[in-house]
Every structure is written in C-alpha cells, then in structure tokens.
C-alpha cells in the first residue's frame, strides 16, 4: 500500500493557505513538481516525501492525526479504527502467521487503539510507517484481559519464562482461554513492563505488587487478531508517512512517559510490599 501523497500534499498546502508556487518555494522544489504530485502523475521521491511531511509537522499541521479524526467520523457502529506500527512496509494482506511466536499472546497480528500509541513503538526505525485499519467486530468471539494475574501469567507463558510450569493445570487453563477466541483485547506490555512481570516470575514480587507496578506503566490497549475470521473483517485503509521530526517528537514523548512510569513503579513496589502471593504459592 502506497502513501496517499497526492491528497496529503494538497491538504497540507490548503490548510496552510499557500498556492502551489508558494508551497514549492517553502519546500525547495519547482511549482511543476507540486502540480504533478498533487495530480498523481508522478511517484514522489524519498526526499520529497520527507520535505513535505517534515514541513507540515514543523508548521503544526499534524496531517496523520487529522486523518485519524476523519476516519473515526466515518465508522459504522460495529466498526473500530485500529493502528499498526510497522518497522517497514506491509506487503500483501494482513497475515496472522508472520508475527513472532514469543509476542505477548503468541503469533498474531497486533494493533493498537490510537495513532500516537502505534508510532511510539516504531519511531526508532528508519523506514517505519503507521497503518490505519478498519475493523468490523460483528459476530466475532473476543477474549478481554485487564491488568491482573491472568494477564500477567499468560504473557509470561507466551514470552517463554514459565517453561518449568508449562504443564501445570493453571497454566494449561490460561493457554486454552487465550486461544478460544477470534481476537484479543488486552493491555499492552512493552519490554519495560515485561521486566516487571519477569521479576514476579522470578519470585521477587508478589502478584499484587506486580499488578500495581504494571498498572502504573499503562500504555493503552492492544487488539490482536488470532483467527483468519478476524483478519477477514479487518481492512488496511491508509498508510501514513512519519517524518524524521515527527519521530523525534514521539521519542521524546515516550521517554518522558517512561520516566514518570518508572517513578510510579518504585512507589507501587513500596506501597504493596508484602501483599498478595508469590509465584510458587500460586502454582504450588
């Protein structure tokens, strides 16, 4: 899927109230280049893509956020707008079998609830982009998780740190529940959060300490498609270009949020010390 560059370029120019020649001067190209690209008569170069989207972001025209708002306005009652941050380009259709086995809930296609959420996970990659997905959840079976013991232990299993307990009836029941659905809605667990879960599995934290530490680092919810039926009701509708200055902006945002989250974790570890059960007590 290509970027919707002709329409984006024209929208950015018109939002800023610039003629084609004025816009061309601002981004350092000829007027004919702007004209031909707005008409879709030529493929934009990598340099032009970066120049246009970086200029827009510098002028506080957040075109990708604006498109998110417009897409949301167009949703049917049974539809949701979801987002996938890709390190490169998605080729072909959505595929639940391409992902890693050791993701939060195993292999599947992972999406999030917002553009900002998606971009924060791929802002460090040179050729990353964000895809918008229109998802109709009609007649699909959903498994929902919240920040609790079930969620923590399910993620620990799929991330490969519960191998010694994998045949335990409690773990087997968790695995069954995670597979008995078309798609999953669950809190996102990034690597920083997984370190906290790992501390719980290692016996350093109780389940109550772990739960409150994880709640302190809330990153929003993720939607994971795990069945072909779910994928058949999800459609890629837009691919968004991320300029270098936009990537840097979201890197800073995520860093600031991580510092705040780390401080909350320290408080949660202290406040809930001694409450709850350790892993060996749960799986005794």
C-alpha atoms less than 13 angstroms from C-alpha of 54 in its C-beta half-sphere: 14
- Does 239 lie in the same domain as 131? yes
With 80 as the cut, is the pLDDT of residue 44 above it?
A: yes
The answer to whether residues 44 and 87 belong to one domain is no
pLDDT digits (tens, 9 = 90+) for 66-100: 999 999 999 999 999 999 999 888 888 898 987 77
Number of domains in the chain: 2
User: For the whole model, what pTM was predicted?
Assistant: 0.89
Q: CA-to-CA distance for 284 and 281, rounded, in angstroms?
A: 5
Owning domain of residue 43: 1-61
The string of pLDDT tens digits covering residues 235-283 is: 999 999 999 999 999 888 888 777 777 787 788 888 888 899 999 898 8
The answer to whether 130 and 243 have CB atoms below 8 angstroms apart is: no
227 and 175, same domain (yes or no): yes
Q: Burial level of 186, CB count in 10 A (0-12/13-18/19+)?
A: buried
Contact 280, 203 (CB under 8 A): yes
If asked whether residues 156 and 175 sit together in one domain, one would say yes
Please give the average per-residue pLDDT across 159-174, as a whole number: 90
Q: Which of 48-62, 78-92, 158-172 has the highest mean pLDDT?
A: 48-62
114 closest CA partner among 76, 67, 148: 67
Q: Are 165 and 107 part of one and the same domain? A: yes
Which CATH number belongs to the domain containing residue 20 in this structure? 1.10.260.40
pLDDT digits (tens, 9 = 90+) for 24-36: 999 999 999 999 9
Mean pLDDT (the chain, rounded): 91
If asked whether residues 102 and 88 sit together in one domain, one would say: yes
Length reported for the chain: 284
In a shared domain, residues 17 and 119: no
């Amino acid at each position: 899927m290509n970027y919707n560059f002709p329409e984006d370029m024209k929208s950015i120019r018109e939002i800023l109230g610039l003629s084609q020649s004025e816009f061309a001067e601002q981004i350092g190209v000829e007027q004919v280049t702007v004209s031909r690209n707005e008409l879709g008569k030529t493929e934009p170069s990598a340099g032009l893509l970066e120049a246009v989207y970086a200029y827009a972001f510098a002028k506080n025209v957040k075109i990708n956020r604006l498109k998110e708002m417009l897409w949301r306005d167009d949703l049917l009652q049974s539809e949701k707008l979801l987002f996938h941050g890709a390190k490169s380009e998605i080729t072909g259709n959505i595929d639940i079998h391409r992902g890693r086995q050791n993701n939060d809930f195993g292999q599947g296609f992972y999406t999030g609830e917002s553009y900002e959420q998606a971009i924060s996970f791929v802002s460090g990659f040179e050729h990353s982009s964000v895809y918008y997905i229109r998802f109709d959840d009609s007649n699909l079976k959903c498994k929902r998780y919240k920040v609790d013991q079930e969620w923590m232990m399910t993620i620990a299993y799929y991330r490969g740190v519960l191998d010694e307990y994998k045949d335990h009836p409690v773990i087997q029941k968790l695995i069954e529940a995670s597979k008995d659905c078309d798609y999953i809605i669950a809190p996102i667990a990034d690597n920083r959060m997984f370190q906290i879960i790992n501390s719980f599995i290692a016996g350093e934290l109780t389940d109550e300490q772990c739960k409150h530490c994880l709640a302190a680092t809330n990153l929003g919810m993720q939607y994971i498609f795990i069945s072909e039926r779910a994928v058949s009701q999800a459609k890629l509708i837009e691919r968004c270009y991320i300029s270098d200055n936009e990537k840097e902006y979201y890197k800073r945002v995520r860093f600031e949020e991580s510092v705040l989250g780390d401080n909350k974790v320290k408080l949660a570890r202290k406040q809930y010390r001694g409450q709850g059960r350790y892993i060996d007590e749960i799986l005794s």
